[in-house]
Structure 1
């Protein structure tokens, strides 16, 4: 690659970083179509080059597909800059969360995985109330949703939040799922709500 081409690539990578980090949206990151509009149709190659550069300093570009689109639809996917090594659930405790909040997050994520990623908030609260007072459950869910680890809708649906998808090690979620299942809590909760929605979320 010549000096001029390298200079252009460096400029494009700088633009990509600015787009991803300086998003004006409610959610962080940037959609692929926005990168395409600013960087051109070859934006995936630019992102790959940026990813290689970021890995040298312990960061990387993470692509999260749009749940309503196919995994190959880069235009609708969202791109983030994250740590090269994803957080474990225990790492989240160092960010100022209590042990109870961490346990509630683990149990909720495990339950949501068994429900293909979302469930009614009423179901989630009832499941958690077997272990914690209702006021503590509601306060924890509110905080975790506000921080992006969970998502809540006005219709009363709870789902896995963007921050969990981006930051948390998926293997940790599967461990939480296995732990909850082995304790019988998930099975009991599913018996209350019906088995038809069960099944692990596709990776």
Structure 2
């Protein structure tokens, strides 16, 4: 009986250690982006890393957090190359302190870029100039790029890692368009 009890505690200790390690990898920024790649988690936690991630995700639910898996491209399904993030289940806590015009610029930017996959920065600025002053557009777009909502490469804007992790793009476009997208 003692051996069984000791063995069970050992398994629990191993699981607890792996959960702490997974949380550490996901919370602390190691490179330019937060979170961790699937291969990093597999290397640190072992081949059963997805089970560890599922257990951790259940524990994070009580705190209003969840683990999101974001693939580099839409076609990609390789979890080793995917990035795992911890995000708020509802981002309203963060965005509630933003001005309404800032949220409007972000929503229009995400929706416009999502419909085209990428857009010239100048093209988006021209679209936004119809409703917002130049200084506001430049200021907000730069903030969105810094915070990861948008990504800029060679004067083109793309959907950023943070938008992929925190925003339901389909739902955003549906609410702007006023009808469901199938």
Shorter-chain TM band: 0.7 to 0.9
Q: Relative to 1, partners in 2 of residues 1:135 and 1:92: Cα closer, same or farther, differing over 3 Å?
A: same
Quote the Cα distance in structure 1 between the aligned partners of 2:155 and 2:166.
Answer: 25
1:18 paired with 2:37, answer: no
1:79 paired with 2:78, answer: no
Partner of residue 50, structure 1:
56
Q: TM-score, normalised by structure 1?
A: 0.77
Considering only aligned residues, what root-mean-square deviation do their CA atoms show, in Å? Answer: 2.4
Quote the Cα distance in structure 1 between the aligned partners of 2:59 and 2:99.
Answer: 36
5+ long unaligned stretches in structure 2:
1-6
The higher-RCO structure (CA 8 Å, 6+ apart) is 1
Which deviations, in whole Å up to 9, do the C-alpha atoms of 1:120-147 show, x marking residues without a partner? Answer: 1111111111212222211211112112
Q: TM-score, normalised by structure 2?
A: 0.85
Q: Relative to 1, partners in 2 of residues 1:42 and 1:69: Cα closer, same or farther, differing over 3 Å?
A: farther
5+ long unaligned stretches in structure 1:
182-199
Partner of residue 34, structure 2:
28
CA contact (8 A) 2:114 2:169 kept: no
CA contact (8 A) 1:129 1:137 kept: yes
Number of residue pairs aligned between Structure 1 and Structure 2:
175
Shift of 1:56: 2.5
Shift of 1:16: 0.5
